[in-house]
Amino acid sequence: MPMHTQSWESVGPSLDECIKCNICTSYCPVAEVTDKFHGPKYSGPQAQRFRENGQPQSPDHSVDYCSGCRVCNEVCPTGVRIAEINARARAQAAAEHGIPLRNRLLGRSDMLGKLGMIAPGLANWGMRQGFARSIAEGVLGISKHAQMPTWSREGTFASWLKRSAPNRLRSERKVVYYHGCSTMYYEPYVGKAAMAVFEHNGFEVVVPEQGCCGLPLLNNAEFPAAEKYHHHNLEWLTPYARQGYQIVGTSTSCTLTLKEEAPDMLDIHTPEARDLALAVWDIFEWLRELHAQGQMKTDFQPIDMVLPYHPPCQYRAHHIGSPVMDILPLIPGLDVRESHARCCGGAGTYVYKKEKYQIAMDVGQELFTWVDEQRPVTMTACTSETCRWHIESATKLPCRHPIEVLAAAYGLYDLEKRKLTKE
Amino acid sequence: MKRIETEILVVGGGATGTGIAWDAALRGFKVTLIEKRDLTHGTTGRYHGLLHSGGRYVVKDPVSATECIHENRILRKTHAHCIENTSGFFAVTPEDEGPYPDKFLEGCRATGVDCAEISVADALRREPLLNPRISRVFEVPDGTADSFLATHATVQAARHAGAQILTYHELMGLIIEGGDGNRRVVGAKVRDVAKGMDVEIRAQMVINATGAWAGMVTQMAGVAISVVPGKGVMVAMNHRALNTVVNRCKMPADGDIIVPVHTVAIIGTTDERVTDPENLRIEPWEVNLMLEEGDKLVPNLSKARVVRAWAGVRPLYQEDYAGASRDATRKFALLDHKERHGIDGFITITGGKWTTFRLMAEKTVDLAASHLGARKPCITATTAVPGADQGNYWLGHRLHEIEEQKLQGQLICECELVTRAMLENAAKQNPLLTLDDLRRDVRLGMGPCQGGFCTYRAVGIIHEMGKAGVWEGDAGHQTHAAEEWDVAYIQSPARNVNGSGSVGDRPQQQGGSVGDRPQQQGGSVGDRPQQQGGSVGDRPQQQGDRPQQQGDRPQQRAGQTPPLFNPNLLLRDFLQERWKGVAPILWGRQLKQERLDELIYLNVMNADHLPDDQLASAMTDFYLFDTTPNEHEVHP
Amino acid sequence: MSDLFVIGAGLSGLMAAYTAARAGLRVQVVTKGLGSMHWAAGTVDVMGYTPEELSRPVQRPLEAIQALAHSHPEHPYVLLGSHQVQVALEEFTALMAELGLPYGGAGGFGALAHSTSGDNLLLPSAVGALRPAFLAPSAQLAGDMARPEPLLIVGFTGLRDFYPELIAENLAKQGFQARAAFLPLSLLTEQADRNNVHLAQALDLQARRLKLGGELKRLARAGERIGLPALLGLDDHAAALADLSAAAGAPIFEIPTLPPSVPGMRLYKALRARLWRMGVRIDVGLEGIGANVIAANGTAGRVQWVETATTTSRPLKHRAKAYLLATGGILGGGFDSDHTGRIWETVFDLPLTIPQARHQWFRPAFMDPAGHPVFNGGVAVNAAMQPVGADGQVLYANLWAAGGALAGADPIQQHSLEGLAIATGWAAGQAIVRALAQ
User: Is A28 inside a domain boundary?
Assistant: yes
Which residue range(s) make up the domain with A32?
12-97
How far off is chain A from C429, nearest CA to CA, in Å? 23
Contact C169 B629 (CB under 8 A): no
Residue B96's pLDDT is what? Answer: 87
| Number of residues in chain C | 438
The answer to whether C83 contacts chain B (CB < 8 Å) is no
User: Is A6 inside a domain boundary?
Assistant: no
What percentage of chain C reaches a pLDDT higher than 70?
A: 97
> Band of the pLDDT at C126, cuts 50, 70, 90?
very high
Closest chain B residue by Cα to residue C180: B526
User: Quick one: average pLDDT of B160-186?
Assistant: 94
A92 shares a domain with A107 = no
Residues B152, B22: Cα–Cα separation, whole Å: 11
Q: Is the pLDDT of residue B538 over 80?
A: no
Residue A4's pLDDT is what? Answer: 66
- Lowest-pLDDT range of A68-77, B559-568, C267-276, C396-405: B559-568
A249 shares a domain with A183 = yes
Instruction: Tell which of B305, B514, B531, B587 to mutate to test the C interface (max C CBs under 10 Å).
Output: B587
Residues B565, B571: Cα–Cα separation, whole Å: 10
Q: Is the pLDDT of residue A423 over 80?
A: no
> Band of the pLDDT at B549, cuts 50, 70, 90?
very low
What does the pLDDT look like over B580-607, one tens digit per residue? 999 999 999 999 999 999 999 999 999 9
Residue B515's pLDDT is what? Answer: 31
A227 shares a domain with A275 = yes
Please check whether residue B178 is in contact with residue B346, taking contact to mean a CB–CB distance below 8 angstroms.
no
Instruction: Return the CA Rg of chain C.
Output: 22
> Band of the pLDDT at B544, cuts 50, 70, 90?
very low
User: Quick one: average pLDDT of B458-469?
Assistant: 92
Interface of C with B in 313-332 (CB under 8 A): 330-331
Closest chain B residue by Cα to residue C367: B608
Residues in A closer than 8 angstroms to C193, CB to CB, are: none
How far off is chain B from C371, nearest CA to CA, in Å? 10
Please check whether residue C352 is in contact with residue C343, taking contact to mean a CB–CB distance below 8 angstroms.
yes
Residues in A closer than 8 angstroms to B453, CB to CB, are: 20
Closest chain A residue by Cα to residue B264: A49
A214 shares a domain with A125 = no
Q: Is the pLDDT of residue B181 over 90?
A: no
Closest chain C residue by Cα to residue A70: C285
A346 shares a domain with A393 = yes
Contact A5 B128 (CB under 8 A): yes
User: Is A7 inside a domain boundary?
Assistant: no
Q: Is the pLDDT of residue C66 over 90?
A: no
Q: Is the pLDDT of residue A78 over 80?
A: yes
> Band of the pLDDT at B512, cuts 50, 70, 90?
very low
Residue B553's pLDDT is what? Answer: 34
User: Is A62 inside a domain boundary?
Assistant: yes
What percentage of chain A reaches a pLDDT higher than 70?
A: 99
Q: Is the pLDDT of residue B527 over 80?
A: no
Contact B453 A20 (CB under 8 A): yes
User: Is A1 inside a domain boundary?
Assistant: no
- In order, the DSSP letters of C221-256 are PTT-EEEEES-S-STTHHHHHHHHHHHHTS-EEEE-
Residue A90's pLDDT is what? Answer: 92
Contact A31 C195 (CB under 8 A): yes
Please check whether residue B446 is in contact with residue B415, taking contact to mean a CB–CB distance below 8 angstroms.
yes
What does the pLDDT look like over C271-280, one tens digit per residue? 999 999 999 9
CB atoms within 10 A of CB C90: 15
Please check whether residue A105 is in contact with residue A11, taking contact to mean a CB–CB distance below 8 angstroms.
no
Residue B53's pLDDT is what? Answer: 97
A86 shares a domain with A125 = no
C315-354: buried (b, 16+ CB within 10 Å) or exposed (e) per residue? bbebebebbbbbbbbbbbbbbbbebebebbbbbbebbbeb
What does the pLDDT look like over B598-632, one tens digit per residue? 999 999 999 999 999 999 999 999 999 999 999 87
The answer to whether B263 contacts chain A (CB < 8 Å) is yes
User: Quick one: average pLDDT of B281-294?
Assistant: 95
Residue B529's pLDDT is what? Answer: 33
Tell me, rounded to whole angstroms, the distance of Cα B626 from its chain centroid.
20
How far off is chain A from C176, nearest CA to CA, in Å? 33
Instruction: Tell which of C27, C34, C278 to mutate to test the A interface (max A CBs under 10 Å).
Output: C34
Contact B415 A46 (CB under 8 A): yes
Select the more confidently predicted residue: B23 or A6. Answer: B23
User: Quick one: average pLDDT of C34-46?
Assistant: 96
> Band of the pLDDT at A393, cuts 50, 70, 90?
very high
Select the more confidently predicted residue: B468 or B12. Answer: B12
Interface of A with B in 44-83 (CB under 8 A): 46-62, 78
CB atoms within 10 A of CB C183: 21
Contact A340 C276 (CB under 8 A): yes
Question: Nearest CA to B138 among B106, B107, B109, B105?
Answer: B105
Ranges in chain C annotated CATH 3.50.50.60: 2-96+266-285+301-379+393-437
Closest chain C residue by Cα to residue A73: C285
Write the residue in C157, C165, C175 that is nearest to B540 by C-beta: C175
A239 shares a domain with A204 = yes
How far off is chain B from A348, nearest CA to CA, in Å? 26
User: Is A4 inside a domain boundary?
Assistant: no
Task: Specify the CATH superfamily of domain C2-96+266-285+301-379+393-437.
Answer: FAD/NAD(P)-binding domain (3.50.50.60)
Mean pLDDT, chain A, integer: 94
> Band of the pLDDT at B7, cuts 50, 70, 90?
very high
Q: Is the pLDDT of residue B525 over 60?
A: no
Contact B627 C218 (CB under 8 A): no
What does the pLDDT look like over C164-179, one tens digit per residue? 999 999 999 999 999 9
Residue B431's pLDDT is what? Answer: 75
CA-based end-to-end distance of chain C: 18
Q: Is the pLDDT of residue B562 over 90?
A: no
Q: Is the pLDDT of residue C231 over 70?
A: yes
User: Is A152 inside a domain boundary?
Assistant: no
Contact A74 C311 (CB under 8 A): no
Q: Is the pLDDT of residue C418 over 90?
A: yes
How far off is chain A from C111, nearest CA to CA, in Å? 34
Write the residue in C129, C173, C357 that is nearest to B605 by C-beta: C129
The answer to whether A22 contacts chain C (CB < 8 Å) is yes
What value of ipTM does the predicted structure carry?
A: 0.97
Model's pTM, two decimal places? 0.93
Residue B508's pLDDT is what? Answer: 31
The answer to whether C38 contacts chain A (CB < 8 Å) is yes
Select the more confidently predicted residue: B508 or C434. Answer: C434
Report CA dihedral (C315, C316, C322, C324) to the nearest 10 degrees.
-60
Question: Nearest CA to B430 among B349, B370, B491, B374?
Answer: B491
Contact C194 A31 (CB under 8 A): yes
> Band of the pLDDT at B518, cuts 50, 70, 90?
very low
CB atoms within 10 A of CB B390: 16
The answer to whether C227 contacts chain B (CB < 8 Å) is no
Contact B592 A56 (CB under 8 A): no
Q: Is the pLDDT of residue B571 over 80?
A: yes
Residues in B closer than 8 angstroms to A61, CB to CB, are: 403-404
Question: Nearest CA to A41 among A68, A74, A76?
Answer: A76
Residue B330's pLDDT is what? Answer: 67
Residues B439, B454: Cα–Cα separation, whole Å: 10
The answer to whether C420 contacts chain B (CB < 8 Å) is no
A240 shares a domain with A183 = yes
Residues in C closer than 8 angstroms to B517, CB to CB, are: 157, 182
Question: Residue A307 sits in a domain of what CATH number?
Answer: 3.40.50
Instruction: Tell which of A16, A18, A21, A276 to mutate to test the C interface (max C CBs under 10 Å).
Output: A21
Q: How many domains does chain A have?
A: 4
A390 shares a domain with A306 = yes
Residue B554's pLDDT is what? Answer: 33
Contact A52 B243 (CB under 8 A): yes
Residue B485's pLDDT is what? Answer: 65
> Band of the pLDDT at B484, cuts 50, 70, 90?
low
> Band of the pLDDT at B328, cuts 50, 70, 90?
low
Tell me the pairing of strands B245-248 and B88-92: parallel
Q: Which residues contact B524 (CB under 8 A, 6 or more apart)?
A: C152, C179, C180, C181, C182, C219
Closest chain B residue by Cα to residue C190: B409
Q: Is the pLDDT of residue B240 over 70?
A: yes
Write the residue in A26, A259, A322 that is nearest to C260 by C-beta: A26
B-to-C residue pairs, Cβ atoms closer than 8 angstroms: 239
What does the pLDDT look like over B329-360, one tens digit per residue? 667 899 999 999 999 999 999 988 999 999 99
A-to-B residue pairs, Cβ atoms closer than 8 angstroms: 94
> Band of the pLDDT at B500, cuts 50, 70, 90?
very low
Residue A240, φ and ψ in degrees, nearest 5: -65, -40
Contact C258 B550 (CB under 8 A): no
User: Quick one: average pLDDT of A376-403?
Assistant: 96
Mean pLDDT, chain C, integer: 94
Residue B324's pLDDT is what? Answer: 56
Q: Is the pLDDT of residue A53 over 90?
A: no
User: Is A147 inside a domain boundary?
Assistant: no
A358 shares a domain with A258 = no
A-to-C residue pairs, Cβ atoms closer than 8 angstroms: 93
Q: Which chains touch C (3 or more CB pairs under 8 A)?
A: A, B
Interface of B with A in 99-128 (CB under 8 A): 126, 128
